[in-house]
Structure 1
Amino acid sequence: MKNQWDTYAKVFEEGMGEGGDELHTKLINPLIFKFLGVYEGKRILDAGCGNGYLVKLLSKQAKHVTGADASKELLKLAKKRTQKITNIDYTEVNLLDPLPFAHASYEVVIANMVLQYLPQLVTFALESADVLKPSGQFIVLVDHPGHALFDRVQELAGKPNPKWLTRASYFTSGQRRKKSLWDKAILEYYHRPVQEYINVFTPYFKLEKMAELTSDSETPRILGLLWTKI
């Protein structure tokens, strides 16, 4: 079944390109590599790899990088981007399903701006813990859910943000709609308060660091979480 990322794969590729858009190059990528630290010689799983831009960046030092994604169209772009790099492979997999990788086969699992598009996280939490080696790193970046609070303030002020097409309480989890991909697409996503992200991973991982990034010094934009496998 064609998913929304197959539909917008070309738009995604045009905006992200080789290293990501401005949000990624200025905020997201630096945080990922800060969380990673020294990763030379490590095996890394990029879960929800999209067009493979991060896979390519990671391959420069990692021993091996696996890109996993449910979108056939994005995987085609990823494979084309990295076809000459030998320490990369790709797997088509829905992150709601069991991961087809061996137990304790990776030192790092990265979920880069993908979990907000999954209707439930329990399966992915369990599967990520399974494929990680003991004390392995689990890195999560998502849209900061705090945007719902600021959107409510803007709405009360009579200036609602047109990006968010579904408006609900910060504490109300569930499916919503937003303008995304540089306002060229309308995507379905799942809002969760920060506590939900923390609680779903706590049984399997120890939280080491949390980062809240902003692009305008006022509103939270990106939530980053660094965990180690228990």
Structure 2
Amino acid sequence: MNQKEINQKNKAIWEANAKVWDESMGEKGNDWHLNLIAPITEELLNLKPQDHLLDIGCGNGIFARRMEGKGIKVTAFDFSEENIKRAKSYGGTIQYAVVDATIEEELNALGSSFDAAVSNMVFMDMPDLAPLFQFLSKTLSEKGTFVFSIQHPAFNSEFAELKEDAVLVKNYIQSSTSKGLALEEQPQEQFYFHRPISEYSKLASKYGFAIDAIEEPVFNRGDIFSKIPPVIVFRLRKNL
């Protein structure tokens, strides 16, 4: 399969899985979102009321609603029509759109004036990140920030075998594509696009960004993910 074919299959998978994901995440998100991802993402964005935030791959809109509740102007998009339908069902004033972040023309239709951008746990699901990074390099304001979180590619991927108090990692450095279940009840396996951390650093540099913060939050519940970070969060700024 070429990249275009993979992307089309990817859309169909997320349309099929949208209902289960919405039911699992609910209005405010699960414990991963509430305890690991959202607080540190909000802190790194450091937005003030009326700042304009672009939420990339918003799913059912959990983070968009969180930020709207703090007075932030939010434009949010996802490539799944069903995800956007479900996001809109929660109400609010968020401007939602169905946009494929791998297609330059669709991204350009979003406009060209954002104070910040965010993408929570999405890049593992995207076959191509270059169009998005290029778009953001042109779209974010001069002092704009871009914060994104992903499954930690060293500790929480197809190459990481969890032990009781350790992780065995194999073939980490190679980018790859696989499929699997994130939720046992979802009807279809989703694609996973594994990239080492250096791949994200190269993308940032290529499109004029500097990484100025990295966070590796852990749970406080006594399991392995209290010792080893299951997610990693990056903040990028324009490299002026």
> TM-score range, shorter-chain basis?
0.7 to 0.9
Partner of 1:184: 185
1:102 is paired with a residue whose SS is coil
Change in Cα spacing, 1:62 to 1:111, as seen in structure 2 (3 Å) is same
How many residues were matched structurally? 216
Q: TM-score, normalised by structure 2?
A: 0.83
Cα distance in 1 between the residues matched to 2:191 and 2:32: 20
Cα drift, residue 63 of structure 1 = 4.2
1:180 is paired with a residue whose SS is coil
Partner of 1:164: none
1:130 is paired with a residue whose SS is helix
Cα drift, residue 199 of structure 1 = 1.1
Return the letter of the residue paired with 2:185. K
Is it true that 1:95 corresponds to 2:104 in the alignment? no
Identity of aligned residues (%): 29
Q: Is the Cα contact below 8 Å between 1:41 and 1:61 reproduced in 2?
A: no
Cα distance in 2 between the residues matched to 1:145 and 1:9: 24
The runs of at least 4 consecutive aligned structure 1 residues that moved more than 4 Å come to none
Cα drift, residue 130 of structure 1 = 1.7
Aligned pairs for 1:80-229 within 5 A: 80-82=89-91, 85-86=92-93, 88-98=94-104, 99=107, 100-103=109-112, 105-147=113-155, 148=157, 151-152=160-161, 154=163, 169-181=171-183, 183-185=184-186, 186-203=189-206, 204-215=208-219, 216-229=225-238
Listed as ranges, the gaps of 5+ residues in structure 2 are: 1-7, 220-224
Two-structure CA RMSD over aligned residues (Å): 2.2
Cα distance in 2 between the residues matched to 1:62 and 1:43: 10
- Provide, for residues 2-51 of structure 1, a one-character-per-residue CA deviation record: whole Å limited to 9, x for no partner: 52111111110111001110111110011111112242120010010100
Cα distance in 2 between the residues matched to 1:117 and 1:223: 15
Cα distance in 1 between the residues matched to 2:14 and 2:22: 11
Return the letter of the residue paired with 1:3. A
Q: Is the Cα contact below 8 Å between 1:101 and 1:131 reproduced in 2?
A: no
Pick from 29, 48, 52 the counterpart of residue 57 of structure 2. Answer: 48
Cα drift, residue 153 of structure 1 = 6.8
Partner of 2:5: none
Q: TM-score, normalised by structure 1?
A: 0.86
